[in-house]
A = this chain, B = another copy of it.
């Protein structure tokens, strides 16, 4: 991706590390999925990955962060797939909905684990370091580029801030995701809510067809 992909084979040490990371991630994924996050101890994960307990904590700073290992690759793939799949000429609201619907589907197979992940990791690691930690931030930046392109093509109003638009759209997605994970929305309602809220949001951003934009009604003063 951004790595220049060195052709040299990584050292034995690097290979061993990669292997351990993978084993730990897989052990955690399997155990979490079969028995649930809380019911699995880090000792079990270590045993299954065939490493000592302390080693687990060299690859993830806490049990919660193991969820990042578990979701990392799927998330990265989903981001690539979604952005790649964008049709530059498609209706903006539909394209955006298509992107985020893909993200929602990531959690379909195990919503409970998804909830833990969203809660513990995606939101609020104060200064988490490493690869794919600010994955969200990087995605939003790329989405902002897309908005900028749309604007350049004259499809969005000139006064739309691409960065803000990207952030806002993500917020709408996130709110929908949470509503579903919390059990307030069924999967179908969730998809519908996402589509409609994005469509609504886009309405204010689209370039008006030929001439004057409808002007805001009722401008009051705040006391």
Residues of A with Cβ closer than 8 Å to B?
87, 89-95, 98, 115, 118-120, 123-124, 126-127, 137, 155, 160-161, 164-165, 167-168, 170-172, 174-176, 178-179, 181-184, 193, 196-197, 200-209, 213-223
Contact = CB atoms under 8 A, between A and B. Distances in A.
A172 to B, nearest CB: 5
Contacts of A118: 123-124
A175 B164 contact: no
A94 B196 CA distance: 23
Nearest to A221: B90
Contact of A214 (B161, B174, B197, B209): B209
Contacts of A164: 193, 196-197, 200
A168 B218 contact: no
Contact of A196 (B161, B172, B200): B161
B124 A119 contact: yes
A222 B126 contact: no
Q: Indicate the member of A90, A161, A205, A218 with the most B CB atoms within 10 Å.
A: A218
B178 A123 contact: yes
Given A118-B124, A175-B170, A209-B217, A222 B181 contact: no
**Closest 6 CB pairs between A and B?**
A171-B175, A203-B204, A204-B204, A208-B214, A90-B220, A168-B197
A216 to B, nearest CB: 6
12 contacts: A89-B218, A89-B220, A119-B124, A155-B217, A160-B200, A167-B197, A168-B172, A171-B175, A171-B197, A203-B203, A206-B216, A208-B214
